[in-house]
Chains A and B, each alone.
Chain A
Amino acid sequence: MSAYGTTRHHGQTSANSTPASTTLFRRLTWEGTVPLEIRVDSKELPANSDRGLECYYIQAPRVSYLPLLMPEIRRFLMDVVFDEAAGKMLKEEEWWFESEEGTLLKWHWPIGLIYDNHTISASIRPPSQTSTSHYNLQVTPLKLILHLASPPTEKLLLSPSAESCKQAYMGQLKEADFIRWGNTKRMTGLRKQDQDGIWEGIKEHNFDDYWRVASKIVPTTAPARSSSPPPSTNPSMHIRPPSADPQSAPDRDNAYNVRSVPVRLYLPDGPVMQDVVSPTLEDGSAHTLVHYLSTHLPLLFPPAPYSGPELAYAMMHGVLVPPDAEMAWLGACMAGADGWVSVCVGIAR
């Protein structure tokens, strides 16, 4: 594991490098996983299948995508469940997933978002007998049903291939880039090698490979400086190329200088909400999560002063987010690998 300043430079920054705390949260976000239980629909098991073994368990990276799990699932099914003849008839392009509750799972959503969306959807259903938590955030395997044929093409994006998933992913990165800066120059300025490399980082779940490219497009939280000390010689640090104007480089890429933070708000069984999220408010203060939520969902997050019971909660990557978290900081440190800050709102019990 290469060091990104978390051990040798804890709490320190150099002019053009990423603060250690930023890297820490980025790594924590990256390494999050969720448990999945994948079971083939019993009605679709081919003849001569080894029934009773058609269930596969996997601890999947939150930043990954269902199409990227397909090869591993297929290997399991071929090795353990299906006989050789049935295996040859398998067409992965016809596979599709749904939850136990019948919710169609989307190919182009990160797995972590699928899991969190399931969690908040459960928050509006009658509580289970085992659920005693106010937030119902128990980490239990998400039970998926794998169908092998007849995908609902009117509801699902077609062609669940890894290449299609990559194209959808790159589109999300470009949209996030546009949201931040009003253009996609940072994304389009990447060489083809880098664009492929960032996706390879997702595929292989390699933090270093991903951030080697992502550090060129994701804003940093490094403070602006009046003078520029020499660049660090540590090759493992996130180093941005020195600008012709040292004083402007940190400002230009600073998370608090973006036009808008790419944020999407997910409600239980509702549409995805997306609006302009400025990093600072009109009075110059930082735009916080509580302000964002009370503005967009005042009935669930009543503005201060409010002394009543908690009505809802905001979750990112499976954890409750402090209300005073700054939106710009979230955009730099806890965005998903697709560049988006995905806030999932659940209903408190």
Chain B
Amino acid sequence: MTATLTRQQFDEACQEFIHAHQSISSAYEARLSGWSWKEHHTLPGFGYMHRIITLNWRHPASVDTFLEIDGGLDVVDDGTTASHDSPDSLTCHQFVVLSATFRVPTFYFSIHASSGSPLQLTDIMKTSLLREDVCEGTVATTFAVSHPATNFPFLSQGEHPTARHALLVLSPMRNCKCSSRDPQGIRRNQQETAGLDGGLVHSVEYRRGHAV
């Protein structure tokens, strides 16, 4: 069964999740905390979760070679984005939004250096946000990172449905495969989904015991 959520289910699950993880009693809980609920400034029914966390470079002194860059597309260094050379800690804005198309929670984010410059896609793959092995076999352009065998990019640029900001988005198609009646499947999907801390997105779904 494909797992989808109604707007009401999503809203309730998110707010329950936020409330449940307000207190920090362990390192695991710490990774799930810090979220707040946001609404569109004029219209109801467009709420989402948001938080800001600090990240680091996965290998600050090394040059990663996991990522195969599409040779036909230049990764342009125009000086307006931060590079891996920066030793600074990184600020990550994270959002969990209900995908209107796939009806599943979708993870949007942006990462900025201390200067405020956003990271390019290739440098984002080198941060502590994503597991190291996630990039293996992927092909990257300035717009997206894709596994050749999949229909949708694993990671791509996107627009926050409510706030209209330019962000990066993990493919919501991965979340579509999660079944509410298969907790093992949920945990496997958690591991697949770029190793995000605590499988946040799937925690939201699993908590509600969702069904179509």
Seen from chain A, the residues whose Cβ lies within 8 Å of a Cβ on chain B are 91, 93-94, 106, 108, 150-151, 153-159, 161, 163-164, 167-168, 171, 174-175, 178-179, 184, 187-188, 267, 270-272, 274-275
Contacts and interface: CB of A to CB of B under 8 A. Distances in A.
Task: Categorize the interface residue count of chain B.
Answer: 20 to 34
B66 interface: no
Interface in B61-95: 73, 76, 78, 80-81
Contacts of A179: 101
B118 A108 contact: no
B37 interface: no
B166 A153 contact: yes
B120 interface: yes
B20 interface: no
A271 B143 contact: no
B165 interface: yes
Interface stretch (B22-30, B152-160, B182-190, B203-211): B152-160
Interface string B110-145: 101000011011000000000000000000011110
A168 B80 contact: no
Interface stretch (B11-19, B40-48, B49-57, B194-202): B40-48
Contact of A167 (B40, B100, B156, B162): B156
Contact of B151 (A91, A106, A157, A188): A188
Contact of B78 (A93, A174, A272, A274): A93
Contacts of B165: 154-155
Contacts of A156: 166
Contacts of A274: 100-101, 161
A190 to B, nearest CB: 11
Contacts of A154: 110, 112, 118, 165-166
A270 B144 contact: no
Contacts of B144: 167
Contact of A271 (B43, B76, B110): B43
Given A167-B144, A168-B157, A271-B164, A158 B120 contact: yes
A28 to B, nearest CB: 27
B141 A164 contact: yes
Contacts of B46: 271
Contacts of B152: 171, 174, 184
Among B118, B143, B151, the one with the most A-chain Cβ atoms within 10 Å of its Cβ is B143
Nearest to A269: B42
7 contacts: A91-B78, A94-B80, A154-B118, A155-B165, A157-B159, A184-B151, A270-B42
Contacts of B117: 153
Nearest to B81: A153
B166 A157 contact: yes
Contacts, number: 84
Contacts of A167: 141, 143-144, 153, 156
Interface of B: 40, 42-43, 46, 73, 76, 78, 80-81, 100-102, 110, 112, 117-118, 120-121, 141-144, 151-153, 156-159, 161-162, 164-166
Given A167-B144, A188-B151, A175 B101 contact: yes
Q: Specify the main secondary structure of chain B where it touches its partner.
A: loop
A187 B142 CA distance: 23
Given A155-B164, A161-B142, 11 more contacts: A158-B118, A158-B166, A164-B142, A164-B157, A167-B153, A168-B157, A175-B101, A184-B151, A267-B43, A270-B40, A272-B161
Given A154-B110, A158-B118, A94 B142 contact: no
Contacts of A158: 81, 118, 120-121, 142-143, 157, 166
Contacts of A155: 164-166
A239 B144 CA distance: 34
Contacts of B141: 163-164, 167
B120 A275 contact: no
A106 B158 CA distance: 11
Contacts of B73: 161, 163
B76 A157 contact: no
Sorted from nearest, which 5 A-B pairs have the closest CB atoms? A274-B100, A159-B142, A164-B143, A157-B166, A167-B143
A89 B85 CA distance: 25
Among A153, A158, A167, A270, the one with the most B-chain Cβ atoms within 10 Å of its Cβ is A158
Contacts of B102: 178
A158 B111 CA distance: 13
B101 A157 contact: no
Given A154-B165, A167-B156, A159 B143 contact: yes
Among A108, A157, A179, A274, the one with the most B-chain Cβ atoms within 10 Å of its Cβ is A157
Given A153-B81, A167-B143, A159 B76 contact: yes
